[in-house]
Amino acid sequence: MNSFMKIFKASAAMSLLLSGISLGAEDKNFRIQASETDARRAMQTFASCTVNRNRAGARQMALMQPLDPRLHSASSELVEDKCLDVRDQAMRLKFRSAAMRYAIAEALVHKEMKDYLPTSFKTVPALDHGQAPKIDNARLPSAADKRQATLLAYERGFHIWLVDSLGECAVRLAPSESRKLLDTRLGSTAEKETLAAMDPHFARCRPEGMVVTIDEFDTRGAVAANYYRLASATLPSAN
């Protein structure tokens, strides 16, 4: 199986690496040992605060392609200390821009589309997810550590691009189930059941022969990002 066909399963630790969300638990002096669900809920709280304080900037970020070179600077500009004060400043939230884009998109769905429940996106043109990352094996660094870092960066980028692309397809196949997922509480039984209901839709979207395993964070995130982009295009105020 070559690099283009290999997407690795994100356990709690790998999820932090690929999706980029943690609560500083790697610090031995950190006084809260946060679970993955704690991390996701803290990110959700942060995103909700961010959307409240900078709606225009949040919208701009949520509508970007998953690997847009401006994404990092956009996420940095949105970060405010007041929104990072979760659990009475006991947690230190760390994240990558891809994870922040997911959370921001979901927060926008909840705040802008509370009573807007589209059942079809057939009239919306295909979304632009950018170009799939590519790697030139002939130009990989010779040093083992640099070579590994380059391959990891490529796999991370390809993972983000692929999941985002599959997410659009799945949301188009199941708009109502997609919204139901976003309305569930993180870590709840309802979330697990709705994630399971979305699995067949993601499976239908996979290229034949490709093995892809996506964790719950990326599944929900890809649904959120694509649902917001698609629904924004059909909002009455957008027409």
Look at residue 222 in the predicted model and tell me its pLDDT. 97
Closest to 162 (Cα-Cα) out of 91, 213, 233: 213
- Region of poorest pLDDT, from 29-33, 50-54, 185-189: 29-33
Residue 125 reports pLDDT greater than 50: yes
Residues of the chain with pLDDT > 70: what percent? 80
pLDDT in the model for residue 238: 53
Which pTM was predicted? 0.82
Enclosing domain of residue 209: 3-238
Alpha helices by DSSP H, 113-188: 144-173, 175-182
Domain count, the chain: 1
Question: Would you say residue 123 has pLDDT above 90?
Answer: yes
Report which secondary-structure segment, H or E, holds 212: strand 211-212
- Residues 111, 94: Cα–Cα separation, whole Å: 24
Question: How far apart are alpha carbons 161 and 210 in whole angstroms?
Answer: 15
Tell me the average pLDDT across 47-65.
95
Q: How far apart are CA 196 and CA 127, in angstroms?
A: 25
Least confident of 95-99, 115-119, 158-162: 95-99
**pLDDT of 32 over the 60 cut:** no
